[in-house]
Amino acid sequence: MDVILHLNVVMVVIHSVVWSIWMLFFCRHILAILHFNENIKRETQLSKDGKEYIRVTYPKFKLGEEVVREVACPPTYSELTQKA
């Protein structure tokens, strides 16, 4: 009888640990989704005179040909830190 009770207690402890770890990762996953959705369509950075910033890169896989891209505004973190 004691062995069955002991195994039951062990199973409850293991279940609670696994459940808490799963909930931690689930909550982190939800926060990552919210952050991604908020920052997916960031606007282009503008200079003081209203021109858009651009960045020129020379990737190796294009054998050094230039690629011109717009520079996006920095991602937002303030809403998450203020609510936490």
pTM of the model as a whole: 0.50
Q: Quick check: 83 pLDDT over 60?
A: no
- Residue carrying structure tokens 């293991």: 14
Nearest to 37 by CA among 81, 1, 79: 79
- The model's pLDDT over 9-54, given as tens digits with 9 standing for 90+, comes to 778 888 888 888 888 788 888 888 888 888 888 888 888 898 888 8
Q: Quick check: 80 pLDDT over 80?
A: no
Q: Quick check: 82 pLDDT over 70?
A: no
Tokens of 84: 């936490």
Looking at residue 59, its pLDDT comes to: 82
Q: How far apart are CA 43 and CA 23, in angstroms?
A: 34
